[in-house]
Structure 1
Amino acid sequence: MNIKLIFSIPDLIPLGNCNSSIKMDKKTDDLLRRPLYLYDLPADVLNSLSLKADAGQPTQPELQTATPPRPQTPSSVSNDSTAVGSQSCSLCTLAFVTVQEQRDHLKTDLHHYNLKQKVHGLKPVTEAEFEKLVDNLDESISGSESEDDEDDEDGSSRKDTTLAALLKQQAVLADRQRNPDNGDDEASKGQRSGTGKPPLLWFSSPKLPENTFYGIYRVLFTAEELDKEDAILEAVKQRQLSPISMPKPPKDGSPPSYNGRHVFLCMIGGGHFAAMVVSLAPKKSKHSAGPLNKEAVVLAHKTFHRYTTRRKQGGSQSVNDNSKGVAHSAGASLRRYNEQALVEDIRALLKDWKALIDTSDLLFIRATGTTNRRALFGPYDGQVLRANDPRIRGFPFSTRRATQNELMRSFIELTRLKVREIDPTAVQTLEATTVDTTKAKAQPKPAPPKLTEEEETALLHTTQIQALIRRSKLPALLSYLGTNDLTASFRFQPADTQQNHHAPTPLHLAASQNAAALIVGLLSKAAGADPTLTNAEGKTPFELAGDRATRDAFRVARSELGEEAFDWEAAKVPPALKREEAEKRAEREKKEKQAKEEARRKAEEERLKNEGPQIGATGTKGKSLGALTGSVTKTAQERREEEARGLTPEQRMRLDRERRARAAEERLRRLQGGA
């Protein structure tokens, strides 16, 4: 199979300080424009190459590469650009086709994770980097999942999510790095990332303008070849291959037998798998004699996709099971089945391609996470790939979803020479800046000021009192105040928080919570709360009351405590109201409400008796079928509302999950029955 490599080379645009007086002849300009394939270099270029003196040195900022930019899909943008627009996320650098896709993205763990990164002053991660973080979740994290925590059909979890597990793991690792003596040394070492070597080797040539170099990816060479400069240049010359013709595939559909040099490329992640075997020898195009048209000889290619990731939450089902326990929903069962089916499909394909894989020069594999690596490297009977194979390489650049087009794009990126202009002055400036930044990061952050014993005690009292008020525990609240010699006018600490700014005292908090039962108790002589105190906005507790019952509680307290107890006018409390009058009015309003509800029900029953329910299925003269037959048929919505009537919010959520699980099981049963 032939897949054309389309080379559309833009003009070389220098990003550093270049000498504009340099004039390039036509031949030099052609070298900058034409795409150079590593395994079929022109003789004049091949014989003029020499390794750059500081080839192993990072060279940023680097100039415009001669490799064309990779195409962008409607749902993603390059990591080097920033997505800006009405249907994009500048934080995650993603663009969307529809507004609904954008809204769905704002609910994903990737977006929430990047928000937390931004809050902590850290760099956001890409979709591929986040997928790698999720796949690398430590499988030793233990935990059980109750029925309430089971996944919905769409894979969402009500209480614990993959994002929460990821943040917990990172918090543990950060603690280990701060305190290496408190954790496993090997685990801590595994999280320390080294600087590594730059992915490109740079070669100079007299055919190129000043400060312009050719770049070749380091992963295309062996360790022995990288040891010596002469060995690298000799290896480039040995890699030159003559064009070939496409081998004919066997009639049985199996991969063709091929003795020439070729490479194996494979990507797996998120339920997507793609693999390809490509010959390194080029093939001249039959339709054009020009040097720019060449074709890659694809010996075999295959893609698989299975639904294995938890929608809206991210991560595979196996990672979720290992971190939180086995879920029992229909969606979880389907994802487990698909994970096993995907593994079997991949291993069967590798077995069919064993002859081509065993004779490949290099094996480029992207498989992050324990589950994906186990699918490729086993161990299992008849294993084809070995994790310790010296031919295995990773992709030294960012990759997207595993597809045939992405594999071909990666092959083009790997085997095409880069042409870049490097300004030595800019490199030196960058090195100095990098050293200064590293030193600044190495400086320890100042520790927060230690709280005094009085401040710690005030924080403890604040937490306990606020908890009792929110639970409307008046006896326990009065007991706590008396035991600790505190007044009901105690000021919450710290005062600069939003909650304590709005409700700085127990009486303010009780009024804002509409806890009418606590108002009279806090204003009593035993507690002694002062209703004239104001918050930072100048409002008294009465002004924070949100319903009539709470406001009446202040008026009842004014009646029972007397006018001389407090300055009620300063507290903005209306005239006193006797408890009996407040209770009578509350009882009267309750009866009026019940009477209105009873009248509404009787009117509805009378309407149903005369007209029947309006369900849309009418017979003659506009009467519904229920009225004609003498029976009342309820709609599905009415039945669901009747089932949920009287249930707590938690019980309604559980009932909703059960309905969706039954629906998913029914769909799965129908699919299995149809198969």
Structure 2
Amino acid sequence: MDKTTEDLLRRPLYIYDLPPEVLATLALKPDVDNQPQISDTSSSPTKDNDDASENVVGSQACSLCGLSFASVQEQRSHLKSDWHHYNLKQKLRGDKPVAEVEFEKLIENLDESLSGSDSSDSDSGDDGSRKESTLITLLKKQATIAEMKIDASGNEDGEEEAATGRRSRNRGKPPLIWFSSSLLPTNTYFGLYRAVLTAEDVRDEHSFVDVVKRKQLEPIAMPKPAKDGSLPEIAYKGPHFFLCMVGGGHFAAMVVALPPRQTKNAGGPLNREATVLAHKTFHRYTTRRQQGGSQSANDNSKGNAHSAGSSLRRYNEQALVDDVRGLLQDWKGLLDTAELLFVRATGSTNRRTLFGPYDGQVLRHNDSRLRGFPFSTRRATQNELMRSFIELTRLKVREISPSREPIVPPTDASIASTKPATPKPAKPKPSEEEETALLHTSQIQALIRRSKLPALLNYLQTNSVSPEFRFVPLDQNHHAPTPLHLAAHQNAAPIVLGLLTRGGADPTATNEQGKTPFELAGERATRDAFRVARSELGEAKWVWDAAHVPAALSKADADKREARERTEREAKEAERRRTEEERLKREGPTVKTTAKKVAAAAGLDNRGPLKTAQERREEEARGLTPEMRMRLERERRARAAEERLRRMQQGR
């Protein structure tokens, strides 16, 4: 592979704007990976499930559930999910693993908070306890149903199924379509998510290469937004996707344009960032803390609770439904013209929020454009939607081993043993250069985040590390790959100035999205650090215009402006305090008189000065254990919530 091809494959490949070299060499991979797979949910193990599991190969895959992943983080997230744990139980019992849709139906009436509580791998242990309780409840329910069937008929479902020969099948296809290319090394392929193809695209599976070529879009120069942040009408007429997630009181929706857009430099590389046409997030307190499940699910199973928290959650559930449906109605024009609709809504309550039925319904179950996310997702946020859009529209480059060992059904000996039948392949030991690069990455990033400029410069000089050092692994540091990028992204103005003036960092270096360090700065103080460096280093040191750094600014001018703004802030604060003191002087006697009347009415006028609310709370909690203090605080918050709810109802 020559250097040009290596550089081409190193950068992200956007499905709707592939390089001509890739399009000219694409060919459909002619093997079982692109053929329909059968997931059998019968109770006796057969070879069909083994064949379906063999369709998923590679290190970042789950052969048990039939999924492949684009990153190790997604694989770890899946391995911690209820669905994967349930399939493990199925395998140990000799039953077939179930598809994700079937598992969602099983837990629909048990716990609707699973999808809404999706979060990063570093979430608290409460999610784990809720997950465990939900899984245990499902297994107990199935065990009870099985015992009832045995008592009624004297025959288990598996025996009846073996006698009748009837089996339930769910025909499906693998989530990724694989393509070969002469640009790729041996046993390496391009992957495309089947979900991004329309119903017309998938009619003929042998024309997928032509479908990819037809999907190429010409880059456009996106017009500047108006003062209110809205884009001109021409921006909404191109092809776009609608993405939506709802669960656990969290809602996030986004409309993203598909055509790529160019950078500021004419003729420069294309900016791979998506153009967001509209986005919105809502959050309401609807999930029962530390217990799991929504309030409506708890009411349906146990009857309506009468606590203040339950009333507040019911009110918030209805408010979330009104907010979501109102937003969908406002976006109806964008949804009607969207090429595809990606929706994640687990549980009957969440699906009813989106699909109704209700008057003025926008989304419908039978819409052929409707899609689910073919990979694991976390909590519904704008960042998660953007991550999902990037995952959907990026071409995967994956190495697939041609050798496949058949999956052996579990036996009694394998079930009894806790050790795997075959040892797991050992991870390749990193080379000395890779270990050194990882060490430099961790040390430099820690010093930048802690704003240790002298220690950072000393570390770079002592270890002979270039200021343009690229952090590893590259896929986890693509946004801020160099020390200067990270310092600008962290808004560490002293670090930025020190790296430029004393460390010799290059301000024209770009990340994978083609952004310079200056473009990552989020505060004016950080941007001023670049301008001060330009003033101190001179125009001949770097091509500052290529780094997008504005005109030079002297250190004295920057300090004067900062001092002037600080003086203005202090003057405003002094004025605010003076106004507050005058108000207290005017209202002071009235407050004291009222306090005396209250004290006299309560018989406390001869007991010394009244105590503040904080002092009363401390006195009530004195001598209590930590558990009793927490219980007392929860009761106070519940009473406050009930009072707020009462006031809201009276204000209608």
In the superposition, the TM-score normalised over structure 1's length comes to 0.49
Q: Does 1:232 align with 2:208?
A: yes
Q: Percent identity?
A: 56
Q: Do the aligned residues in 1 keep the contact of 2:60 with 2:69 (CA within 8 Å)? A: no
Over 3 Å counting, the alpha-carbon distance change for 1:402 and 1:657 in structure 2 is closer
Q: Which 10-residue stretch deviates more, 240-249 or 381-390?
A: 240-249
Q: Which of residues 238, 259, 273 is equivalent to 2:251?
A: 273
Alignment match, 2:589? none
Deviation sequence 1:119-151 (CA, Å, 0-9, x none): x979xxxxx99x9689722599xxxxxxxxxxx
Q: Does 1:62 align with 2:58?
A: yes
Q: Which of residues 286, 306, 328 is equivalent to 2:306?
A: 328
- The residue type equivalent to 1:261 in the other structure is P
Alignment match, 2:139? 170
- The residue type equivalent to 1:391 in the other structure is R
Q: Does 1:354 align with 2:354?
A: no
Give, in angstroms, the shift of residue 247 of structure 1. 5.2
- The residue type equivalent to 1:203 in the other structure is F
Q: Measure the CA separation in 2 of the matches of 1:377 and 1:440.
A: 45
Give, in angstroms, the shift of residue 170 of structure 1. 3.4
Over 3 Å counting, the alpha-carbon distance change for 1:234 and 1:180 in structure 2 is farther
Alignment map for 1:91-106 (pairs within 5 Å)? none
Over 3 Å counting, the alpha-carbon distance change for 1:636 and 1:133 in structure 2 is farther
Over 3 Å counting, the alpha-carbon distance change for 1:229 and 1:238 in structure 2 is same
Q: Measure the CA separation in 1 of the matches of 2:616 and 2:244.
A: 53
Q: Does 1:302 align with 2:280?
A: yes
Q: Do the aligned residues in 2 keep the contact of 1:263 with 1:277 (CA within 8 Å)? A: yes
Over 3 Å counting, the alpha-carbon distance change for 1:642 and 1:43 in structure 2 is closer
Give, in angstroms, the shift of residue 234 of structure 1. 1.6
Alignment match, 1:80? 75
Over 3 Å counting, the alpha-carbon distance change for 1:276 and 1:269 in structure 2 is same
Q: Do the aligned residues in 1 keep the contact of 2:180 with 2:188 (CA within 8 Å)? A: yes
- The residue type equivalent to 2:348 in the other structure is T
Q: Which of residues 12, 33, 38 is equivalent to 1:35?
A: 12
Over 3 Å counting, the alpha-carbon distance change for 1:284 and 1:139 in structure 2 is closer
Give, in angstroms, the shift of residue 318 of structure 1. 0.7
Deviation sequence 1:1-36 (CA, Å, 0-9, x none): xxxxxxxxxxxxxxxxxxxxxxx2112312321211
Matched position secondary structure for 2:285: coil
- The residue type equivalent to 1:338 in the other structure is N
Q: Which of residues 186, 207, 227 is equivalent to 1:210?
A: 186
Q: Which of residues 86, 89, 108 is equivalent to 1:136?
A: 108
Deviation sequence 1:354-391 (CA, Å, 0-9, x none): 01101111000000001111110000000000011111
Q: Does 1:381 align with 2:355?
A: no
Q: Does 1:26 align with 2:3?
A: yes
Q: Do the aligned residues in 1 keep the contact of 2:111 with 2:293 (CA within 8 Å)? A: no
- The residue type equivalent to 2:287 in the other structure is T
Q: Which 10-residue stretch deviates more, 230-239 or 413-422?
A: 230-239
Q: Do the aligned residues in 2 keep the contact of 1:135 with 1:315 (CA within 8 Å)? A: no
Q: Do the aligned residues in 2 keep the contact of 1:262 with 1:361 (CA within 8 Å)? A: yes
Q: Which of residues 226, 229, 239 is equivalent to 1:261?
A: 239
Unaligned runs of 5+ in 2: 36-53, 62-67, 94-99, 113-125, 162-166, 417-602
Deviation sequence 1:201-241 (CA, Å, 0-9, x none): 10001121111110000111234533434321221111110
Q: Measure the CA separation in 1 of the matches of 2:311 and 2:24.
A: 60
Give, in angstroms, the shift of residue 44 of structure 1. 1.9
Over 3 Å counting, the alpha-carbon distance change for 1:255 and 1:276 in structure 2 is farther
Matched position secondary structure for 2:321: helix
Over 3 Å counting, the alpha-carbon distance change for 1:324 and 1:255 in structure 2 is farther
Alignment match, 1:47? 24
Deviation sequence 1:630-665 (CA, Å, 0-9, x none): 99x99778889999xxxxxxxx99999876643542
Q: Do the aligned residues in 2 keep the contact of 1:269 with 1:368 (CA within 8 Å)? A: yes
Deviation sequence 1:72-95 (CA, Å, 0-9, x none): xxxxx9353499xxxxxxx969xx
Matched position secondary structure for 1:80: helix
Over 3 Å counting, the alpha-carbon distance change for 1:299 and 1:193 in structure 2 is farther
Q: Measure the CA separation in 1 of the matches of 2:617 and 2:22.
A: 76
Q: Do the aligned residues in 2 keep the contact of 1:39 with 1:241 (CA within 8 Å)? A: yes
Deviation sequence 1:411-458 (CA, Å, 0-9, x none): 000000000111212xx12xx1x2x03x5389999xxxxxxxxxxxxx
Q: Measure the CA separation in 1 of the matches of 2:237 and 2:243.
A: 18
Alignment match, 1:583? none
Matched position secondary structure for 2:18: coil
Q: Do the aligned residues in 1 keep the contact of 2:15 with 2:394 (CA within 8 Å)? A: yes
Matched position secondary structure for 1:334: helix
Alignment match, 1:18? none
Alignment match, 2:487? none
Alignment match, 1:440? 411
Q: Do the aligned residues in 2 keep the contact of 1:59 with 1:422 (CA within 8 Å)? A: no
Give, in angstroms, the shift of residue 262 of structure 1. 0.8
Alignment map for 1:115-126 (pairs within 5 Å)? none
Q: Measure the CA separation in 1 of the matches of 2:133 and 2:401.
A: 45
- The residue type equivalent to 1:387 in the other structure is H
Q: Measure the CA separation in 1 of the matches of 2:367 and 2:377.
A: 22
Q: Measure the CA separation in 2 of the matches of 1:180 and 1:114.
A: 25
Give, in angstroms, the shift of residue 194 of structure 1. 4.7
In the superposition, the TM-score normalised over structure 2's length comes to 0.51
Q: Do the aligned residues in 1 keep the contact of 2:110 with 2:137 (CA within 8 Å)? A: no
Q: Does 1:395 align with 2:390?
A: no
Q: How many residues align?
A: 400
Q: Measure the CA separation in 2 of the matches of 1:68 and 1:164.
A: 27
Q: Measure the CA separation in 2 of the matches of 1:198 and 1:405.
A: 26
Matched position secondary structure for 1:216: strand
Give, in angstroms, the shift of residue 339 of structure 1. 0.7
Unaligned runs of 5+ in 1: 1-23, 71-76, 84-90, 94-109, 123-127, 141-155, 446-624, 644-651
Alignment match, 2:197? 221
Q: Measure the CA separation in 2 of the matches of 1:139 and 1:398.
A: 18
Give, in angstroms, the shift of residue 324 of structure 1. 1.1
Over 3 Å counting, the alpha-carbon distance change for 1:333 and 1:28 in structure 2 is same
Give, in angstroms, the shift of residue 674 of structure 1. 10
- The residue type equivalent to 2:351 in the other structure is R
Matched position secondary structure for 2:291: coil
Q: Measure the CA separation in 2 of the matches of 1:327 and 1:163.
A: 24
Give, in angstroms, the shift of residue 62 of structure 1. 2.0
Q: Do the aligned residues in 1 keep the contact of 2:260 with 2:270 (CA within 8 Å)? A: no
Q: Does 1:370 align with 2:342?
A: no
Q: Which of residues 175, 179, 195 is equivalent to 1:199?
A: 175
Over 3 Å counting, the alpha-carbon distance change for 1:389 and 1:213 in structure 2 is same
Q: Which 10-residue stretch deviates more, 308-317 or 253-262?
A: 253-262
Alignment match, 2:419? none
Matched position secondary structure for 1:36: coil
Matched position secondary structure for 1:78: helix
Q: Measure the CA separation in 1 of the matches of 2:294 and 2:169.
A: 25
Q: Which 10-residue stretch deviates more, 297-306 or 661-670?
A: 661-670
Q: Do the aligned residues in 2 keep the contact of 1:263 with 1:361 (CA within 8 Å)? A: yes
Q: Do the aligned residues in 1 keep the contact of 2:111 with 2:292 (CA within 8 Å)? A: no
Q: Measure the CA separation in 2 of the matches of 1:233 and 1:46.
A: 8
